[in-house]
Amino acid sequence: MSDHPTGDLLAGLNDRQRAAVTAGGGPILVLAGPGSGKTRVLTRRIAYLINEMNIPARSIMAVTFTNKAAGEMRNRLKSLAGDRMRAVQIGTFHATCARILRIEHDSTPYGKDFVIYDTDDQLNAIGQAMSELNIDTRKFNPRAVLGAISSAKNELILPSGYVGQDYFGEIVSRVYPRYQAILLDSNAMDFDDLLVQMVLALHHSPVLQEKYQRKFAWVLVDEFQDTNTVQYQLVSLFGAPQNNIFVVGDEDQSIYAFRGADYRNVARFRQDYPDASVILLEQNYRSTQVVLDVANAVISRNKHRTPKALFTDKAGGELITLHEAYDDEYEARYVMEEIDDLRRRGYHYSDMAVMYRTNPQSRALERACVDEGIPYTLVGGVGFYKRREIRDMLAYLRVVQNPDDRVSFARIINTPKRGIGKKSLESFQYWAADAEMSYGEALIKLLEGADNPLGARAAKLFRDFAEQLFAWRSLTEASTLVDLFDTISSDVGYNLYLHEISDNDLEAADRMDNLSELRGLLVQADEDEINLPEFLIDQALMTDADTKLTGEDRITLMTLHAAKGLEYPVVFITGLEDGLLPHFRSFDEPDGVEEERRLLYVGITRAMERLYLTYAFKRTTWSGSQAQERSSFLYDIPEDMTAGLPSGLNTDRSYQSYKQMTTWGNTRAAQDTERRNATSGLDRLRRDLQRGSATSNSGNKAVNSKIIPFPGSEPQPPAEPQFHTGMSVYHSVFGAGMVVESHVNQDDEEVTVVFSDKRYGVKKLLASLANLTVQ
């Protein structure tokens, strides 16, 4: 092998990375810590296979975790290997399987133009199944039932093989087959089916299996720690018999257990492929030593893990900043102010990202961005594809492609109103079921004038609809997608309908905007010569989390999950509160909190230079606003890694004292109240903070049993403050204000003042420097 042309591909790689890139065939496991260049290794290896080992690009299958990651890999590959890489199959497991299944549908029970059901569609189908079985959906939550079915599928348990362990399981075992039958009747697969059907097809057809094993002689998998049983099975199946399987992962970054991912698949791989080479990538090229230390301090508390020795050249670094805010609004404001400040100091907006555990947390952040005039991109969230108008029009397109799609059919049969109500749809459904016809077949029978149980009026309405539908279908042959879209929209009077269902013009305009955005996607598809089935598959698999990050100078808001694989010079992780991160839903899951800790670890390790961890004293949730406990994870962070405000005390929290004071009229009353309410969570927290130790707990035994001083705060010596809560003071710059809190800190006095001038708000000042005068 001449090393001359390989120079480029191997340039800048360390020994281990190079070993991974240039390794020959056979199973290879790359254990790659965060920032160790695993994506780089993966792409370079693919380029190396093509350029140096003369592997045909079409023989390579690369599996990424998101569509976005696939897109990025494709781009990077293009610059490394040029057009030769086009034939590489790059995509998520789901996208890859969808693509193959469409070609090979003969090896499945499904037709060529199957549609893909997303979670909402699934719930609808579950609802249909449960109502057919007379199971009360109030007694048994369809979501829970769906969850159980999905887990079963991820474990490759088929409807026939499902055994309910308890009463609920018994219910599931009845719904599962019915649900699956509805999907089959609808010629629809859910996300899980894409994987399960692929495995089944490969199992059932040796010919197919051999074909694809030969075709994809080289299999590469990113984020291997997040594979589930079906996916592991797929990797094995596609990889056999040569087992040129190259998997990259990091057990510490496994954050998808909720969808069946099992980091133990990494260990399993070593067992199943005992001859596998194992390559460790431990040098981190991303973060400063401080960030790595913090990350390591957090993750090392997990019991089930193999310790790793990550190291970086970037010694030292900025200490991380902890910040306690009064509530979510102040937290957001603090973040934005800090972002503004950093920007003035030379960072770009696009260097900074704000992360959080749950999607609704983005609201306050978005508001703050708008208020502060900070441009932002929101990744994921309650997005585009959930909008009613989008789902409606997509449902039309889906029914055009596949009239058997019962979920979409039910959605649009009376949207906009065409006089076909619940009753009529029901008898249509029973008729079709009795005669063992799919919906599409039933419509044809209706047009042919077959006997039916529908009333004369309803029958006519259905026939009218059928005629329209088949007219649209004939359009798909000759015309563009946009034409089809426009025709449907005008035939059914959708724009008019949109105005009817909108409360006001603004909402209507918003919905129209969404529709034109969808229309834009169709225009694009026409340009790219993508046909309807391809378009619909792309739509189904493209999620809101795949929001493309434009080159614009904006900050990014996203969940910790969405942040996986990304990096930013500055990272804010917000909402470090007990119950939020770790999320309370994880408390009763086995190893749930460990996964939450991994999630925080993923977040921390996104940071290159600066890291902020924030939490709020009080947070608004759906049932009003609630006092929060600090995240137990914060106690894992070594004191000497943190800087910024001494975290025992700061401005925003003092605002609370101020609020309480104003509520109760005067200081004395407030203090009395405080004493009376001394057991409330709020005051307990405040007391803890003042004492500088965390004696309150959240029921988290680990923390409770070992009381660790809160980072950065020392027990305060008794002191004689010069300023007292309630005093009116004057500052030469900030003007008049009121002291809300004061205490002696080492050898100076820290005074917290609420200034009347809103521009200054709450500030913490050092008495010796601030030149405050008592009024």
Partner DNA sequence: ACGCGCATTGTTTTT
Partner DNA sequence: CAATGCGCGT
How many residues line the site for DNA (CB under 7 A)? 50
CB neighbours of residue 330 within 10 Å: 25
- Shortest approach of DNA to residue 150 CB, angstroms? 8
Say whether 37 counts as a known binding-site residue.
yes
Pairing of strands 352-356, 748-755: unpaired
Say whether 260 counts as a known binding-site residue.
no
Per rule CB under 7 A, is residue 502 in the interface with DNA?
no
Find how far residue 568's CA is from the centre of its chain: 17
| Contacts of DNA in 191-220 (CB under 7 A) | 191-192
SS3 578: coil
Per rule CB under 7 A, is residue 421 in the interface with DNA?
yes
SS3 148: helix
- Shortest approach of DNA to residue 111 CB, angstroms? 22
Known active-site residue 39 = yes
333, 411, 606, 653: the active-site residue = 606
> What's the CA angle centered on 356, arms 352 and 361, to 5 degrees?
110
| DSSP labels, 538-568 | HHHH--GGG----SSS-EEEEETTTTTT--E
CB neighbours of residue 442 within 10 Å: 22
Report CA-CA distances (Å) from 424 to 125, 133, 456. 18, 20, 11
Per rule CB under 7 A, is residue 145 in the interface with DNA?
no
One-letter amino acid for residue 223 of the chain = E
DSSP letter at 589 equals S
Given the complex with DNA, which of 115 and 670 has the nearer CB atom?
A: 115
Applying CB under 7 A, which of residues 44, 286, 333, 357 lies at the interface with DNA? 357
SS3 386: helix
Is it true that the peptide bond before 241 is cis, omega within 30 degrees of 0?
Answer: yes
Applying CB under 7 A, which of residues 348, 585, 676, 701 lies at the interface with DNA? 585
Smallest CA-to-CA distance from 592 within 579, 602, 580, 583 is with 583
Pattern 166-195, binding to DNA, x per CB under 7 A? -------------------------xx---
Per rule CB under 7 A, is residue 414 in the interface with DNA?
yes
Contacting range for DNA; rule: CB under 7 A; set: 212-220, 392-400, 580-588, 723-731:
580-588
Given the complex with DNA, which of 253 and 586 has the nearer CB atom?
A: 586
Beta-bridge mates of residue 613: 322, 573
Per rule CB under 7 A, is residue 574 in the interface with DNA?
no
End-to-end CA distance of the chain: 83
Find how far residue 316's CA is from the centre of its chain: 32
Per rule CB under 7 A, is residue 546 in the interface with DNA?
yes
Lookup: tokens for 635: 């106690």
128, 231, 253, 614: the active-site residue = 253
- Shortest approach of DNA to residue 458 CB, angstroms? 6
Applying CB under 7 A, which of residues 177, 380, 692, 721 lies at the interface with DNA? 380
Per rule CB under 7 A, is residue 65 in the interface with DNA?
yes
72, 223, 683, 741: the active-site residue = 223
Per rule CB under 7 A, is residue 71 in the interface with DNA?
no
Given the complex with DNA, which of 586 and 605 has the nearer CB atom?
A: 586
Known active-site residue 38 = yes
Per rule CB under 7 A, is residue 333 in the interface with DNA?
no
Given the complex with DNA, which of 98 and 322 has the nearer CB atom?
A: 98
Applying CB under 7 A, which of residues 125, 395, 399, 541 lies at the interface with DNA? 541
Contacting range for DNA; rule: CB under 7 A; set: 64-72, 402-410, 678-686, 696-704:
64-72
Per rule CB under 7 A, is residue 586 in the interface with DNA?
yes
38, 68, 357, 411: the active-site residue = 38
Q: How many CA atoms within 13 Å lie on the side-chain side of 573? A: 30
Q: Residues with Cβ < 8 Å from 469, sequence gap 6 or more? A: 399, 400, 403, 443
Given the complex with DNA, which of 4 and 138 has the nearer CB atom?
A: 138
Per rule CB under 7 A, is residue 625 in the interface with DNA?
no
SS3 409: helix
Is the separation of the CB atoms in 562 and 599 below 8 Å? no
Smallest CA-to-CA distance from 95 within 731, 700, 546, 447 is with 546
Known active-site residue 222 = yes
d(CA 540, CA 194): 12
Per rule CB under 7 A, is residue 359 in the interface with DNA?
yes
- Shortest approach of DNA to residue 118 CB, angstroms? 7
Beta-bridge mates of residue 14: none
SS3 154: helix
| DSSP labels, 681-711 | HHHHHHHHHHHTB-----S-HHHHHS--BPT
Given the complex with DNA, which of 407 and 753 has the nearer CB atom?
A: 407
- Shortest approach of DNA to residue 265 CB, angstroms? 16
Beta-bridge mates of residue 749: 744
113, 190, 222, 577: the active-site residue = 222
User: What are the E-state strand segments in 250-296?
Assistant: 277-281, 283-284
Per rule CB under 7 A, is residue 67 in the interface with DNA?
yes
Find how far residue 56's CA is from the centre of its chain: 34
Per rule CB under 7 A, is residue 578 in the interface with DNA?
no
Known active-site residue 253 = yes
Per rule CB under 7 A, is residue 548 in the interface with DNA?
no
Contacting range for DNA; rule: CB under 7 A; set: 75-83, 255-263, 266-274, 693-701:
255-263
Given the complex with DNA, which of 17 and 66 has the nearer CB atom?
A: 66
Binding site for DNA (CB under 7 A): 65-67, 92-95, 118-119, 137-138, 141, 143, 191-192, 255-256, 258-259, 357-360, 380, 414, 417-424, 458, 541, 543-546, 559, 561-562, 583, 585-586, 589, 592, 621-623
Please give the positions annotated as active site.
38-39, 222-223, 253, 606
Give the annotated binding-site residues: 32-39
Annotated binding site for ATP: 32-39
